[in-house]
Amino acid sequence: MDRKKNKNDEESTEKQVRFQQAKVAKKEKKQSKPKKNKKVEEPPFNEHGMTNYNTYKYSSREFLLWVIVGCGLLFVIGFIFYQNVILAALFCLVGLNFPKMRKKQIIQKRKAELSRQFQQSLFSLSSSLVAGRSIENAFREVTNDLYLLYPGKKTMIIQEFEHINKRLENREPIERMLEEFSARAGVEDIANFTDVFVTCKRTGGDLVEVIRRTANMISEKFEIQQEISVMVAQKRFESNALTLIPIGIVALLTYFSGGYMEPLYQWSEFGPIVMTFCLALLALAFWVCQRIMSIEV
């Protein structure tokens, strides 16, 4: 009898142990599951206080300004198409996304300007190396040349070269500084130059010739981009005009021939649904035109 009782106690103890082990294993498995990576916005400056060109942070005043511009513009368009304050107010909420769209444009414009300034600095760097200066002295000379090129201006590229020169005085390797600059810039030309420069420095290649060729290639690429931008400037203006003309026509017909447009504002005639469809077509046409015009070299 005692043996049976002891046996039952042992079995119940084993079951409890197994249950606890299964519970712990399940908990560990749950914790070990990879968490979904949330997209974290990069800080606008790095630990050295230098600009991160891949992101842009609005001031509160600037953010509020772009929200007002976006919502105000869409409210006017919504009122023209719906003739209803409530529907126009709901439509203008899309304008809350306007600062995000504007931020992308600011980042692209800033990167394009940085690439142009970097191209000019490469010509100065190449000339200094041809004159027989060391790499460190050539980088210092570039800063002086840039001050002559941009008198009285603290441009992005001047700040970058001043930062590089300060760290060179601390005996930091120039390869690391260029790689950090390339990562912050997010510009293809700077990344290509950095890769070539680091490779030549480590393998003992002809650095002067490589920098000269790289500068010429970037210059040719910039000239092609300028030609393309001139060619598509008129088409971009035409596409923007074609997007605005339908809105103007609807506004003119509404205010000069209200009876003719009245069915388009009545729910019984499904007018607002038709107007929503027209607005969607306009938005799609505008998006397609912008995609076509954004030509990259």
Phi, psi of 51 (to 5 degrees): -70, 140
CA 96 remoteness from chain centre: 18
DSSP code for 205 = -
Residue 11's pLDDT is 55
* Cβ-proximal residues to 156 (8 Å cutoff; 6+ apart), any chain: 51, 53, 110, 113, 114, 117
Q: Is residue 13 exposed (0-12), middle (13-18) or buried (19+ Cβ within 10 Å)?
A: exposed
Torsion sign across C-alpha atoms 105, 111, 112, 117: positive
Angle at 287 between CA 275 and CA 265, to 5 degrees: 10
Token pair 């990576």 is found at 37
Q: What is the pLDDT of residue 198?
A: 86
Does residue 45 fall inside a structural domain?
Answer: no
* pLDDT lower than 50: segments of the chain: 2, 4-5, 7, 17, 19, 24, 29-30, 32-38
Task: Answer whether residue 29 is part of any domain.
Answer: no
Q: Residue with structure tokens 């000239």?
A: 223
pLDDT at residue number 202? 82
Residue 42 belongs to some domain of the structure: no
Asked if the structure places residue 67 within a domain, the reply is: yes
Tokens representing 176 are 């690391």
**CB burial of residue 284 (10 Å; 0-12, 13-18, 19+):** exposed
- What's the structural domain count of the chain? 1
What's the CA gap between 43 and 47, in Å, rounded?
10
Angle (nearest 5°) at CA 133 between 186 and 137:
55
Instruction: Note whether 174 and 135 are within 8 A (CB).
Output: yes
Angle subtended at Cα 116 by Cα 114 and Cα 118, rounded to the nearest 5 degrees: 65
Within a domain: 218: yes
Is residue 189 included in any domain, yes or no? yes
pLDDT score recorded for residue 33 = 45
User: How far is 47 from 68, CA to CA, in rounded Å?
Assistant: 33
pLDDT at 72: 93
Q: So what's the pLDDT on residue 239?
A: 84
CA distance 273 to 110: 41
Is residue 263 situated within a structural domain?
yes
pLDDT at 196: 86
Q: Dump pLDDT digits (tens) for 249-260.
A: 999 988 888 788
With beta carbons less than 8 A apart as the criterion, state whether 38 and 58 touch.
no
Backbone torsions φ then ψ of 18, nearest 5 degrees:
-60, -40
Residue 34: predicted pLDDT: 43
Q: Domain of residue 118: give its range.
A: 60-293
* Residue 188 maps to a domain: yes
Nearest to 255 by CA among 90, 83, 85: 83
- pTM value is 0.74
